[in-house]
Every structure is written in structure tokens, then in C-alpha cells.
Amino acid sequence: MTGRVTADPCLISDLQSAFHPKAVAVVGVSRDDVNPPPGYTGLRIFRQFREEGFEGRLYPINPRATVIDDVPAFPSISAVPERLDLVIITIPARGVPQVLEDCIANGAVNVHICTAGFGETGEAEGKAIEDRVREIVRRGHLRVVGPNSMGYHVPASRMKMYAGVQLTAGPVAFVSQSGGHAQNFTGHGPALGIGFSKVISYGNALAMDGTDFLEYLAGDPETRIICVYLEGVKDGHRLVQLARDIGRTKPLIVWKGGLTDFGARAAVTHTASIAGDDRLWRAFFRQTGAVQVGSIEEMADAAMTFLRLKPISRSRVAVIGGGGGGNVATGDICAQEGVSVPPLAGETRRSLLSLLPPVNQSIVNPIDGPAALYNPALLGEVLGALTASPDLDAVVLHVATALNLVTTAESRALLKSCISGFGARGSGKPVVVAVEGLERTPADVEDIVREMRDAGITTYSSLRAACRSLKRVADYYSFQ
Amino acid sequence: MTGRVTADPCLISDLQSAFHPKAVAVVGVSRDDVNPPPGYTGLRIFRQFREEGFEGRLYPINPRATVIDDVPAFPSISAVPERLDLVIITIPARGVPQVLEDCIANGAVNVHICTAGFGETGEAEGKAIEDRVREIVRRGHLRVVGPNSMGYHVPASRMKMYAGVQLTAGPVAFVSQSGGHAQNFTGHGPALGIGFSKVISYGNALAMDGTDFLEYLAGDPETRIICVYLEGVKDGHRLVQLARDIGRTKPLIVWKGGLTDFGARAAVTHTASIAGDDRLWRAFFRQTGAVQVGSIEEMADAAMTFLRLKPISRSRVAVIGGGGGGNVATGDICAQEGVSVPPLAGETRRSLLSLLPPVNQSIVNPIDGPAALYNPALLGEVLGALTASPDLDAVVLHVATALNLVTTAESRALLKSCISGFGARGSGKPVVVAVEGLERTPADVEDIVREMRDAGITTYSSLRAACRSLKRVADYYSFQ
């Protein structure tokens, strides 16, 4: 149980060519772009690759076309004049077995089956096709991702699977059993400064499973943080071993879908997955130190926190907020999220008392300090005193309703310069910002959050999100 | 324990004149509007009343002015030529005792002490002033709200305490120990269709407590729903009795702040309240059937649900959503919030199978039905089949990432007409909408939510909020 999982060198080199392919075929590229069917068609994928500047050779496959968008089309994989690094199949399920036979003949190993309509339908026909596919895959030693999946989205290789998503390369990998969640994360991540090494949507996991991709990513030098969404898993023991190994060098952030009865039932219909027992999954997280999240928003916040902040191994925070009732809520939220808000004592308290007047300023913790928040120079001193405290691991600036600090561009600029300046000369302890407030519209909050993030300040869209993320990161490092 | 609390007729008539006053004095109206101090000054309150068209007589009190904004000013309460229905005190704490003596001389009973700097500071001086104030209040039988509070905000009387908030009269009362929370709720409520009968911020509760205001509101014909934020309470037994009585005729929605250790510590600094034991409060909610919420957002969602929907006594829902992974999350969220998502059976399932094609549409529950959501006519039939089911109490339309139904104004108009039309001819079972989605910006989501709400459709900004609210409302009605 303590030994490392040895990666299969064949798997590694096969997937390497899938993520950085020189020759790709898309099976099912329609010529008709006037009335394309809705959803992810072969034509859309083919065009997205081209528009993003994919540098490999692209082969559109269509038995009734010779040219598509000025690119020579081929009637089948068998007609393609070279060995393919990746075949993407978008035709209906019943045509898939023949394409796989053609892949074997071509020598192609990597196959992405985008098509749905297999085991997840619960219908006899879908299950029968799935059985045939499984037999061919085994016989041909194919590396199949899917079916019912979005496959490989690799920004560095200009392989774009999700429309409306900006290709942003970076050190975060996402292995997702759901194409929708993968699309959300790739869409949401860049605003938080998250770029992606590989985004893998593997759907029904007919052949390769989440664990196969984890085996690859564990040793991938392009990946520093691994995020996973999964519903079921075939080999739980292997997953535990991999998760433990990965955790030693890279944070592993896991959203397990279907932990409740209703969620588990939906998972069967989605990817024909058996979602498994809640208790087993609790044991998994306890044993591996993997970081558990419950949504894409939480996953993105956790990944952002790992990317931006220096490691902390405890989560004792000072919260600078505003408003008495707001501070009661702050105390409750911190406690609920497992973050400690220790009273200020000794030198820290003395420093703050000398900096802030006592009336209408509460020099406990949470700190109700409007004076500090209206005055960036003073704020710098307050942050200095707080981060110097041996009893604190991080400072959260809670920019909520009572504070007009961020209502003008000028005051926001001061705040940003103060925090950035502090970060440069400070103790290195995290100083983060949480922006929320019912008085403001969501659009206002969004603007402020974006501005802060663009200035390099780690910013969350709620205090709860900030606490939750700090706690998760501290738990990870203290487990390691 | 089963007898009703008999309201004190004196309290009722005194508060009646405070909420609908004919003569109001504001003590501490500065002439200097060039450099007004920050925060809620007497001048600001005075002007807000006038700008909103307060119809009673207004007396600005300032010893160094004869006229303020063309209104005759008076040096003190003693100089006012008539008996005052309400005196609002905004001068510093040490001047408050003399003003109270003047109130007794005037015959004024209702006094709002806005000023902070009393017991909540933890300083000896503030506590000493508070003791003097308490003695005068007792001797003069004054009805004091505060100190350290925003007092009475009454839209129907054009009494506006919160800047930037639109005065919206309606059947919801809010009794809040926190002025900040009261400001948030009054600011946030109107967008959800919530108007207010009385908004009461009572701060340190030096004389009158939350229970006094509840006693009034229990019999107030202008109030149909009562919301409460409290940190501490003086007479827990009385609160239990009142809550139980109120619940028989009006939903009572309570946010108890300071339920955790860190929150409780902040409550002491905020309003000098002893927040009390978590177990006692759990017993309170169990015994009274009061609706527990944990934030202003949750309070507003619950109030909106009570206002808009017909009573339900169970929370078995069908969720129409989109995307397989999304439906797993939906199942998990419903289960976590205590809402049941029963499998569709019998006639309901047969109807849906005849309406929706099975591939890429999951006819279980949650229902992955893009076809229905792209086609409002079909959606109407689907809603008809679902609301006819004896196994379902409500339908939630989850407009999330996978659905492009709401991306154009035209499709949103179709959706609205479909839901509104269905509501008119349907079974009366709630059909609500939850709008969210990472693909969209918060500003987009906000726009769509506003449009839906303006069309009279009960709309939440997340599925979790929708489930939580439906569960709370069903629990309330099943308790009664």
C-alpha cells in the first residue's frame, strides 16, 4: 500500500501522442453548414481546430464529400494515407464499430468516441452496440476515451472542444466524467487565472477510466494541479493508490458526483456509472488527503488558491470587515467552514489599538475597521501588524456592503496598490480579498472581482468561498 | 403553554403612533452639508424624510440654528410647540440623557436612539451612560428603540432610514438587531417583489427587545410575513410563546446570528448580546415551527416563496434541467436540501415518453430534456403532465449551462409566456425557475432573473436556493 504506482510506459506514450497529435481525423464532418444539427458536430470540432491554429494534419471523414472548407475529405479512415495519432468519432452509435475496425487497420491507437446512445440510454440497442465496441477495442488494443464524451481539449496543442471557451494553457489538468462540467471549468477558469494543461472528458468510460488519465497526469511535467470530476470508478483500490501518490507532489482536487441517492440515480442515466457508497468515499478522502469539493465553482476556487498562495498548514485567519451584524455573520461563516478566527492578543492587539480608534471600530476579530478600509496607507500598517502575528496564518479583507472603499475607481486603485505593495514587502502570509454584498448588483461585484484578480490579488466572490478554500489548502499541506 | 400571548394594548397604540407619526423631531441636524461627517447623520435622515414626502410635521433640533433647509429649527425638544410622536436622536452618547429628560417633559413616548457608543464598546464610559439612560427610560415609561440602531423604516409613512433604498410598501415586516442587515434586506427585497410594512432595527435593545416588536406585528393587519434577525433575546420563554402564536397565522422567518463560538463573540461586540446556546435555539425552531434561515439572501428567498406560491405541505419535485453531469449535481443538491426527486412512474412517465424522444433525453427525474426546453409549446405539455402527477408537489425548471433557451430575448419571451400561460390554466402547483450557470456572467444571470421575476415567475438565482425555499415553505405548512 505504500509503494508507488508504476505508470504503464505504453499508456504514457500513447496518450502523449493523443494530447500532442500530428495527424487527426474527425469522422462525421458534414458539408452542410447552413442547417447544422444542434450540439457538438464533427463540423464544429473540425472548424474549431482550424480556427485555433491546430498545427497537425486534419482529415475530415465524409463518404459523400471530397473537400470540406478547402480541406480534402476522405470517405473513411481506411482511405487516409498515414497513420493517425487521434481519431475523433461523431457519427451515430451504430456506425461506430466499423470505424473502430478501420482504426485498427490504419494503426491508429487513440480514439475519441464523442457519440452518445450507448449503455447510458438503458435501451437494449445501445447496450448491444457497446458490447460490440468493447470487443473490438480489446482485440485492437485501442485507447478509447468515451463514448458519450467530449474527449481531449488541449490548449497548448490548439485542440479546442468547447465552443465559446478561450484556449488558455497552464498547469491545471481536469479529468471529468462530464462534458458539461469540463466546459464550465474551462470557461470559468481563465477569469481566475487558471490555465489548463489537459482537459479530458471521458463519459461512459467504456475502455479508459479516470484512473488511466490520472496515471498519465501524475508524471506529466505540464501539470502541477490535478482536478477530477467523477461519478463512478472501476478499480477503487487503484484510485486510492494513485490519489495517495499524486498527493505527495501535486494537489489532487476531486468532485465526486452522485454521493446522495438522488444524485447516484442520475449518474446511472448519465454515464451508466455505479456511484458507490458515501462511506467508501469518505474513507477515500480521509486516506488519500485528496481535496474534496462539491461544485465547479469550489473546484476553481481551490485550484486558484493552490496556484496563487504560498503553502499554509493551518487556517487561523484575521478578517477585516465592516458592520456589526456583518461581523457576527462572518464569525458564523468562519466557524462553519472550519476556519479559526482567534482573538487578537499581545503585540498584535497593541499595534491595532494604536492604529485604529476604538469607537465604531471593533478591535477583536473579525475586525470591524472602516477607518482602515477607507485609508489604504493605514490598511498597509494594519496588514503588517496582522501578518506579523504568530497566531495568524492569513488575512481576509472582506469587502462587503458596509464598505464604500471599492465604489470608486480611485479608491479601488488605492486598495490594489496597498495590497500589492504589502504582498511585495510583507511576510509572505496570504492576504486575500472576498467581495460580495447585496447592495451591489452582481455585475458590480463581478467587475470589482475581475479588477482585483487582474491586479494579481487572490479574490473570491464570497467570504464563504475564501474560508473554504483556505481551509482546504491548509488541510492538504498539513496532510502531506 | 398553549394559551395565546395577550398583546399589551398600551404597547400597541404607542408603536402605532411611532410607525405612523404626525410629529417627528430629529435631534442633531447639522446645518453643514458641505462637509457632513460620514454615516447616518441627523441631516441625512431629516432630508430623506422630506425627499420621500413624509406628510407629518418635522422638527430639526439644533441649538445653533434657526432654519435648516427652509424648515424652522429648534434648540431642544423642550422648545417644540407640540407633543411629539417620535424623537430620533443622532447626537453623541453623552448628550442623550438630557434629550430623554426633555422627551419626558414634552410627553413624547417613542424615542429612537440612533447613536452608538454605549455598552457595545466594552468601555466604562459607554456602560455608565447606558445605565443612566436605562434609569430615565424606566422612570419616564419611554418606548426606546436602540441605541446603536437604525430604528423605524416605514415605506407607507414615507419614513426612509436607509440611503439608496427604494421605499416599497408591502406585507413583509423585518425586525432586525442589525442595521446593516436591515439595509441589505430593504435594498434587496424589492427586486424579488418584496415590499415592507415595517422595518425595525433595534440594536442594543436597551429598552425594547425583538419580542416587543413581534408582539405588535403579530396583530398588525399590514403584515402577512414576519422576518427576524436577532443575536440575543432577553426573555426566551416569551419568544417561544410569541413565535408559536405568530406561526398559526403568519410565517415567521428567523435568522439567528451568533450560533457558533466565533459568531457569538462578535455579537457581544456588536450589540452587547449574549448569543446563547446552539442547542436551545435548535429546540426553539423545533418547538415553534419558525422558519430558520442563515443569511439575508435566504431570508429574502423564503419570504418571496411564501408571498408568491400557494401552500405546499411536502416538497417532492420534478426538476427539468439539462446535461447529464448537471443532473447528477441536481440530484445531489436536492438530496442535500431535503427535497425529494421521486422517479417518474405510471401515467406521468407514459405521458413524458410520448412527448420526448429517449436518446439524449433522460426521462427519469431530474429530467434531462433539452427538446422540451428548446420548445415552449412542448414545455407546456411537459409541465401539464408533471403537475398532474399525484407524486409531485412542484416543478423546478433549471435553466443552467446546457440550455440555450434563454440566450435570446425571443426565446425568453416564449419561455415566459409558456410558464405564465401554464400557471393560469394549470393545477396551481408551483412551477418555479432557477437560473444559474458558469458559462454566463453574473450580469447575464441577473438580467434573466430580473426579466423572469418581472414577468411574475418565481425565480431563484440557484437550484440550491429554489430547493431550500420550497423545503422551508413545505415544512412550515406541514407544521401548522
User: What confidence score (pLDDT) does residue B1 get?
Assistant: 41
Q: Which of residues 257-316 of A touch B (CB under 8 A)?
A: 257-267, 269-271, 275, 294-297
Residue B462, helix vs strand vs coil: coil
- Report residue B137's pLDDT band, with 50, 70 and 90 as the boundaries: very high
What letter would DSSP give residue B408? S
User: What confidence score (pLDDT) does residue A401 get?
Assistant: 45
- Chain B residue with minimum CA distance to A357: B121
CB contact under 8 A, A327 and B120: no
What letter would DSSP give residue A159? B
Grid coordinates standing for A333?
A: 461563516
User: What confidence score (pLDDT) does residue B403 get?
Assistant: 47
Q: Give one word for A364, left, alpha or beta, with left for phi > 0 and alpha for psi -120 to 50.
A: beta
User: What confidence score (pLDDT) does residue A377 get?
Assistant: 74
In the predicted model, is pLDDT for residue B40 greater than 60?
no
Distance CA B220, CA B431 (A): 31
B65 CB-contact burial (10 Å; exposed 0-12 / middle 13-18 / buried 19+): middle
Which residue from A466, A476, A477 is spatially nearest to A304, judged by alpha carbons? Answer: A466
For residue B183, what are the contacts with CB-CB under 8 A and spacing of at least 6? A401, A439, B150, B162, B165
Q: In terms of residues, how long is chain A?
A: 480
The answer, for B223 touching chain A at a CB cutoff of 8 Å, is: no
CB contact under 8 A, A267 and B328: yes
Whether the Cβ atoms of residue A188 and residue A300 lie closer than 8 Å to each other:
yes
Q: Which of residues 3-62 of B touch A (CB under 8 A)?
A: 38
pLDDT mean over B88-116: 95
> B312 vs chain A: nearest CA distance in angstroms?
21
Grid coordinates standing for A64?
A: 459523400
> B447 vs chain A: nearest CA distance in angstroms?
10
ipTM of this complex: 0.88
CB contact under 8 A, B266 and A327: yes
- Chain A residue with minimum CA distance to B361: A121
For residue A9, what are the contacts with CB-CB under 8 A and spacing of at least 6? none
Distance CA B375, CA A307 (A): 43
In the predicted model, is pLDDT for residue B213 greater than 50?
yes
CB contact under 8 A, B183 and A259: no
Whether the Cβ atoms of residue B262 and residue A335 lie closer than 8 Å to each other:
yes
CB contact under 8 A, B187 and A439: yes
Asked whether the bond before B366 is cis by omega within 30 degrees of 0, the reply is yes
| B183 against A86, higher pLDDT | A86
Helix (H) or strand (E) holding B170: strand B169-176
CB contact under 8 A, A445 and B443: no
pLDDT mean over A404-408: 54
For residue B375, what are the contacts with CB-CB under 8 A and spacing of at least 6? none
User: What confidence score (pLDDT) does residue A194 get?
Assistant: 96
Q: Which of residues 388-427 of A touch B (CB under 8 A)?
A: 401-402
User: What confidence score (pLDDT) does residue A38 get?
Assistant: 47
The answer, for A183 touching chain B at a CB cutoff of 8 Å, is: yes
Residue B252, helix vs strand vs coil: strand
> B165 vs chain A: nearest CA distance in angstroms?
9
Residue for grid cell 496597498: A418
Q: Which residues pair with B292 in a beta bridge?
A: B254
In the predicted model, is pLDDT for residue A425 greater than 70?
no
In the predicted model, is pLDDT for residue B95 greater than 90?
yes
Within B106-238, strands assigned E span: 110-113, 143-145, 151-153, 169-176, 196-201, 225-230
In the predicted model, is pLDDT for residue B34 greater than 60?
no
Q: What percent of chain B has pLDDT over 70?
A: 86
> B12 vs chain A: nearest CA distance in angstroms?
28
Chain B residues in contact with A266 by the CB 8 A cut-off are 324, 327-328, 330-331, 362, 364, 366
User: What confidence score (pLDDT) does residue B262 get?
Assistant: 86
Which residue from A391, A394, A367 is spatially nearest to A378, judged by alpha carbons? Answer: A367
The answer, for A175 touching chain B at a CB cutoff of 8 Å, is: no
Q: List, as one string, the DSSP characters of B136-151.
A: HHHHHT-EEE-SSS-E
CB contact under 8 A, B439 and A187: yes
Distance CA B385, CA B120 (A): 58
pLDDT mean over A424-437: 77
User: What confidence score (pLDDT) does residue B472 get?
Assistant: 97
Distance CA B43, CA B24 (A): 14
- Chain B residue with minimum CA distance to A269: B362
Considering A73-82, A161-170, A338-347, A356-365, the range whose residues carry the highest mean pLDDT is A73-82
| A5 against A334, higher pLDDT | A334
CB contact under 8 A, B442 and A438: no
Q: List, as one string, the DSSP characters of A169-223.
A: EEEEEEEES-HHHHHHHHHHGGGGT--EEEEEE-TT-SSS-HHHHHHHHHT-TT-
| Least CB–CB distance from A332: residue in B179, B262, B364 | B262
Considering A196-205, B360-369, B445-454, the range whose residues carry the highest mean pLDDT is A196-205
Q: Could you tell me how far CA A216 lies from the centroid of its own chain?
A: 17
Whether the Cβ atoms of residue B214 and residue B242 lie closer than 8 Å to each other:
yes
Q: What is the mean pLDDT of chain B?
A: 87
* Cβ neighbours, 10 Å, residue B241: 18
Which residue from A12, A371, A474 is spatially nearest to A213, judged by alpha carbons? Answer: A12
Whether the Cβ atoms of residue A143 and residue A196 lie closer than 8 Å to each other:
no
CB contact under 8 A, B117 and A323: no
Between helix B96-106 and helix B124-140 the angle, nearest 10°, is 10
Chain B residues in contact with A269 by the CB 8 A cut-off are 324, 327, 362, 364, 368
* Cβ neighbours, 10 Å, residue A327: 33
Chain A residues in contact with B445 by the CB 8 A cut-off are 442
∠ Cα B287 B292 B298 (to 5°): 165
Q: Which of residues 186-215 of B touch A (CB under 8 A)?
A: 187-188
Distance CA A171, CA A194 (A): 8
CB contact under 8 A, B269 and A362: yes
Chain B residues in contact with A257 by the CB 8 A cut-off are 325, 328-329, 332
CB contact under 8 A, B325 and A270: yes
In the predicted model, is pLDDT for residue A407 greater than 60?
no
User: What confidence score (pLDDT) does residue A2 get?
Assistant: 44
pLDDT mean over A256-281: 80
pLDDT mean over A253-278: 81
The answer, for B366 touching chain A at a CB cutoff of 8 Å, is: yes
The answer, for B176 touching chain A at a CB cutoff of 8 Å, is: yes
Distance CA A422, CA A359 (A): 27
Chain A residues in contact with B328 by the CB 8 A cut-off are 178, 231, 257-258, 263, 266-267, 270, 275
pLDDT mean over B177-185: 91
Helix (H) or strand (E) holding A99: helix A96-106
> A390 vs chain B: nearest CA distance in angstroms?
19
In the predicted model, is pLDDT for residue A428 greater than 90?
no
Which residue from A276, A261, A275 is spatially nearest to B365, judged by alpha carbons? Answer: A261
| Least CB–CB distance from A178: residue in B164, B185, B325 | B325
User: Which residue of A150, A162, A262 to mutate against B (max B Cβ within 10 Å)?
Assistant: A262
CB contact under 8 A, B178 and A332: no
Whether the Cβ atoms of residue B219 and residue B192 lie closer than 8 Å to each other:
no
* Cβ neighbours, 10 Å, residue B156: 15
Distance CA A298, CA B436 (A): 15
Between helix B179-188 and helix A324-336 the angle, nearest 10°, is 90
User: What confidence score (pLDDT) does residue B408 get?
Assistant: 62
Report strand pairing: A317-321 vs A367-368: parallel
Helix (H) or strand (E) holding A304: helix A296-308
